[in-house]
Amino acid sequence: MSVESVQTTNVYPHADSRYECVEATVNFAVDPEHLANERITDLALAPRDEDGLVRYDADLRIIRPTDGGNGKLLFVVPNRGVPTNAPWLKGGFLLDRGWTIVSCGWQWDVQRTAATLGLTAPVAEVPAGFMRLEWRSDSVHADHALRYTAPEVESIPGADILFDFTKYPTADVNDPEAVLTVRTSPDAEPTTIARESWRFTDEVTVALDGGFQPFHWYELVYRTTQAPVAGAGLLAVRDIVSHLRGEGFQHTFAYGVSQAARFLRQFISEGLNVDESGMQVFDGVYSDVASAARGEFNHRFAQPSVTQTNGFGTAGKFGASDLLARQRELGGVPKVIFTNSSAEYWNGDGALTHVDPYTGQDLPEEPEVRTYLLAGTDHFGSSNIKGALPVENEVHRLDVSPVNRALLIALEEWVVDGVLPPASRVPRTSDGTAVTRKDVLSTFGHVATPSLASLPYARKVDLGADADNGIGSWPVKLGETFVDLVSAVDADGNEIAGIRLPAVAAPLAAYTGWNPRRHDEMLPGVLYERIGSKVPFLPGRPSVTDRYASSDDYAAAVRAAAEELVAQRFLLADEVDSMVAKAVKEY
């Protein structure tokens, strides 16, 4: 049954008169004994109705053409409740092509509002158990709510309201076995904070004498009794798309960025791209800036909003072969595009999508997969958030959305017409374009760089004997580090490998995927998460004015680079003029 009903609450005209918007609630009823649902942690321990089914519901939003459209559906996975539609709606990109755009809530910890899509997950009946909460702030806080937070959220006015995630209560405010630790860089050895120095002020808040300090990583291991079945969100996406596909769509695609992209990696790794009847759900999947991670999407006491802490989301299945293994056994392997910014590589794990984590040797490509590095870019792209973050170097705002759009068309042509997309473009050990971060930083002596000793590494994790059943042992035990490989740079300092945007191919500066946090004499010079730098060319290189005599000369260089991307199918021809105009504004 899966989708039991769809209750439409509102239908209204879209700003584009060819379209309308639909707001609805989806009611799900799933069989916890069905083999298609066996990977969902604790589903069998959730309350069942008299018919033996587990029920829950989620928010649904649809933007659909009033004339029926082109028979293609794009499911945009919400990122912490917010549909990431921007690259697809800009300039009528998908609307002009007749696509239907759908989003459905999948996170139990999102507050369900008019702006955010969430899911009311079933709650498993389990005994109290340990969980882990980790956070870092850019400012002092007297206390901390027992929920996910992110430093960048503090920089966005009103974001604390939008990103108000559900708290995970402690089972005992006086629990003597709860442990709080602190470290001053991602991989530093943690220091245990004396129990008498901190306390639960209530069941959802923890406080520390002197306050929680900026630029420190805190980890709290404590017991809770609240156990939402987080994996119900994976089933919600599978089942609503399967349901809608049955209404006449010939082809279905998924897109997710950042956390939503990690969700798609998890979705595939669990073999969920076939529904309960065995029918394929997505024909094509586009996972954007996920790195090699998955997330806290399917284990006991999971926090779906959490970003890349060591745990279930970083426990292997990095390369495409491992990631697709279960799906290949079940059938229904989709065509997949993975894109990452340079920042994902500098975070320590981006290269693990295509190299062996122990040797660094290039992995064989899977026939259904293409992987691309967007050279010199960072996780936040052209977002204005970056200007408010405490970093040492000037930030850049390289806009990757034109490449996103071209790659979606390439994915569409691959699925619909069998036209192979461009070959993968990533740093490779075999041709010398994949090098260590130390090798690259050694060339940037003229600007601020992060400390080598404080760089984060992807590491082997041990979550205990019951991890395969979605039950972790905390704190996680960390093992050996994996290789850290990034793109080599050219004589200017710009990355060689990957897709080079016109601004990188015809540069005004060196664009990087790294930026050190603002200098603090008392703390290590760590890499600020997911932010790049715009810095002067390497010493001895020609200046901008030596390269381009005028803005017209620069525009010609950018246009030539853009037209080359068009020939390579990494840019649509009708976007060349706007890309040139945007680049020239920086001259």
Task: Please give the distance of CA 82 from its chain centroid, rounded to a whole number.
Answer: 13
293-336 pLDDT per residue, tens: 999 999 999 999 998 799 999 999 999 999 999 999 999 999 99
pLDDT of residue 235: 98
Residue 539 pLDDT exceeds 90: yes
Mean pLDDT score, 505-513: 98
Structure confidence at residue 161 as a pLDDT band (50, 70, 90): low
211-265 pLDDT per residue, tens: 999 999 999 999 999 999 999 999 999 999 999 999 999 999 999 999 999 999 9
For residues 522 and 86, what is the distance between their CA atoms, to the nearest angstrom? Answer: 40
Which residues does 206 contact at the CB level (< 8 Å), separation at least 6?
143, 144, 146, 180, 198, 199, 200, 220
> Is 377 within 8 Å of 513 (Cβ atoms)?
yes
pLDDT of residue 164: 85
pLDDT of residue 150: 82
pLDDT of residue 31: 97
Can you say whether residue 450 is alpha, beta or left, with left for phi > 0 and alpha for psi between -120 and 50 degrees? beta
Residue linked to tokens 């024909």? 283
Mean pLDDT score, 524-533: 95
133-150 pLDDT per residue, tens: 999 988 899 999 999 988
Burial of 191 (0-12, 13-18, 19+ CB in 10 A): exposed
**Bigger pLDDT: 385 or 363?**
363
Cα 197 to Cα 144, 221, 400: the distances in Å are: 14, 15, 46
Residue 27 pLDDT exceeds 70: yes
pLDDT of residue 158: 65
Which two tokens mark 380?
């936040």
For residues 360 and 171, what is the distance between their CA atoms, to the nearest angstrom? Answer: 44
DSSP 32-95: TTSGGGTTSTTGGGS---TTS-EEEEEEEEEEEETT-TTSEEEEE--BTTB---HHHHGGGTTG
**What does the angle CA 454 – CA 302 – CA 149 come to, to the nearest 5 degrees?**
50
Which two tokens mark 56?
């829950």
pLDDT of residue 506: 97
Asked whether the bond before 87 is cis by omega within 30 degrees of 0, the reply is no
